[in-house]
Structure 1
């Protein structure tokens, strides 16, 4: 008798479970059948952070066994492209299987405009950092200690400079793919009910905050430097918001870091990379303006450069594309329809 009752209760029990699952499903999946935006961001962030770290450990061990003593300086030239391949691979997998979108929607629609934007970003970043150096030098806040400096005395300067160049290419692509390409697109889709412009603006701001927080454990970090890096992220993100492509942010991010650290010898977000620079400086000026040991990004000169850079970015986009619109950020088709209602 009890077996018969239990047997009869099973269908109702199953229906109850199905009802619970139906109620829970909207917490994780949206009307498109995709994971909700926040979860999509988390998945890529975990792959972005842990994937390269795991591969780095394995490749680093292999290189330490096969490379001759004295060749450790070039580890980065071999390691960093592997890290980049892992990050881009994780981005491609996330785009296709989690986000369910073409990888190009993250800002990699290669064409003539894309490459022109990349070059402009590189020129702008280099020009802004050069302006910071010239102002500090004219004010007597820095003195040139030496030129063509490298702590790798056995390696020609040009060869030693290759390692930070490769590193900053990887940093620019990886961080822009995460905080601009993935974050702005997904956060904006998650906020689509606000309307296209407010959603993109909020996503832009949120991604900039995350960009600043990614650097909170850097040496010499303060609340001022973190706030300034949020502003830097806002600056880098402007090119993506206005063009829908990562070319301008990647070019800007790359040259901003390289010229800052390995042309003029400033700290880059509190760090010194490879101790190789065209100019070796002695810093003397007030930290309020120069940023002190954190580098120009934590000083008022850095903020002024960011403001000027945003004006030049807007001017470039207006000249190249004819307007200043956030409509070029590619959101999902379903959410585009929702925006049009």
Structure 2
């Protein structure tokens, strides 16, 4: 039937492909609440906060399987063709994206200090107590080199699965079904609305996160790979939260640097939501896009052109 399939390529239409993908993904995601009874001493909120590493591991697994199945049976394309080819360029993209996001977080941090909006209160890295019996929740809520390493693993999983789902499967199928411009607009708006349900979210924070959605999309469009966006996603969450001590989209845990705001103007400091709730992140966001454009032009496309000549 024409309502379901394209007669030209004999595939399900893009909208149906996205719908079936989401059904599979949500089915795998439900494992989160199936295993919750194992931690029967916690409430739902405590479970989501204290065992976030386990939760994102399930989401990353579910996103990978759901994408692989959908690409094979409905898209009739390979998993790698989403922009996940593993090569030296991909490694460079991840590292550059990770460090670029670290630069973004640092720029925001020192901008607040220079404007007198933030005071540095010291460092918060503690030594692991080897004589104490191991408690996972306590271990993750006290910043040590060990817990910081696991927090980085958690953010790697988050960056991977969110980019795979949003800028990978959903966005690229939206382009096929709606065209590039509509896909960009709808994808960014959806990304902003999803984050509106986060703790301490505001209309301003959701509007700014729409800009972050475009930042991630530009990472894919400028390189035709997902690695730059994945690296930037990992780096932004890791540096703004665990390193510089801001809340990450409304969530905050143990941090390396401690600080206090000297102003209650959350539209400047970001407050309890984090840098995405501050208008001061906007010029940093724009500058980052320009740096990405420079990088993709001079280091990414250049290598592709060299390989093409070698062939």
Instruction: Measure the CA separation in 1 of the matches of 2:202 and 2:224.
Output: 32
Quote the residue 1:280 is aligned against. Answer: 258
The verdict on how the C-alpha distance between 1:318 and 1:234 changes in structure 2, with shifts beyond 3 A counting, is same
Instruction: Measure the CA separation in 2 of the matches of 1:28 and 1:132.
Output: 47
What is the CA distance between 1:60 and its match in structure 2? 4.1
Whether 1:89 aligns to 2:65 is yes
**How big is each residue's C-alpha offset from its partner over 1:73-129, in whole Å with a ceiling of 9 and x where there is no partner?**
984444533331222111111111122210112221111111111111001000111
Q: How is 1:97-136 mapped onto 2 (pairs within 5 angstroms)?
A: 97-136=73-112
Instruction: Measure the CA separation in 2 of the matches of 1:159 and 1:90.
Output: 31
TM-score between the two structures when normalised by the length of structure 1: 0.76
Matched position secondary structure for 1:145:
strand
Quote the residue 1:255 is aligned against. Answer: 235
Greater alpha carbon shift after TM alignment, 141-150 vs 280-289: 141-150
**How big is each residue's C-alpha offset from its partner over 1:261-287, in whole Å with a ceiling of 9 and x where there is no partner?**
111111111221xx2111122122332
Matched position secondary structure for 2:6:
coil
Instruction: Measure the CA separation in 2 of the matches of 1:162 and 1:322.
Output: 33
Larger Rg: 1
Matched position secondary structure for 2:2:
helix
Instruction: Measure the CA separation in 2 of the matches of 1:321 and 1:201.
Output: 23
Instruction: Measure the CA separation in 2 of the matches of 1:42 and 1:220.
Output: 30
CA contact (8 A) 1:106 1:245 kept: yes
Match of 2:156 among 160, 163, 169: 169
Structure 2 unaligned regions, length at least 5: 42-47, 127-136, 303-311
Whether 1:304 aligns to 2:291 is no
CA contact (8 A) 2:119 2:259 kept: yes
Quote the residue 1:291 is aligned against. Answer: 270
Structure 1 unaligned regions, length at least 5: 1-24, 66-71, 192-198, 324-341
Q: How is 1:53-92 mapped onto 2 (pairs within 5 angstroms)?
A: 54-62=30-38, 75-92=51-68
Give the count of matched residue pairs: 284
Match of 2:22 among 27, 36, 45: 45
Q: How is 1:225-244 mapped onto 2 (pairs within 5 angstroms)?
A: 225-244=205-224
TM-score between the two structures when normalised by the length of structure 2: 0.83
What is the CA distance between 1:63 and its match in structure 2? 6.3
The verdict on how the C-alpha distance between 1:142 and 1:229 changes in structure 2, with shifts beyond 3 A counting, is same
CA contact (8 A) 1:63 1:75 kept: no
The verdict on how the C-alpha distance between 1:282 and 1:320 changes in structure 2, with shifts beyond 3 A counting, is same
Instruction: Measure the CA separation in 1 of the matches of 2:59 and 2:170.
Output: 20
Greater alpha carbon shift after TM alignment, 309-318 vs 200-209: 200-209
Instruction: Measure the CA separation in 1 of the matches of 2:241 and 2:145.
Output: 15
The verdict on how the C-alpha distance between 1:142 and 1:47 changes in structure 2, with shifts beyond 3 A counting, is farther
Greater alpha carbon shift after TM alignment, 308-317 vs 210-219: 210-219
**How big is each residue's C-alpha offset from its partner over 1:12-37, in whole Å with a ceiling of 9 and x where there is no partner?**
xxxxxxxxxxxxx1111112221111
The verdict on how the C-alpha distance between 1:156 and 1:304 changes in structure 2, with shifts beyond 3 A counting, is closer
Instruction: Measure the CA separation in 2 of the matches of 1:33 and 1:321.
Output: 34
Match of 1:183 among 170, 181, 193: 170
What is the CA distance between 1:163 and its match in structure 2? 3.7
Matched position secondary structure for 1:293:
coil
CA contact (8 A) 1:183 1:203 kept: no
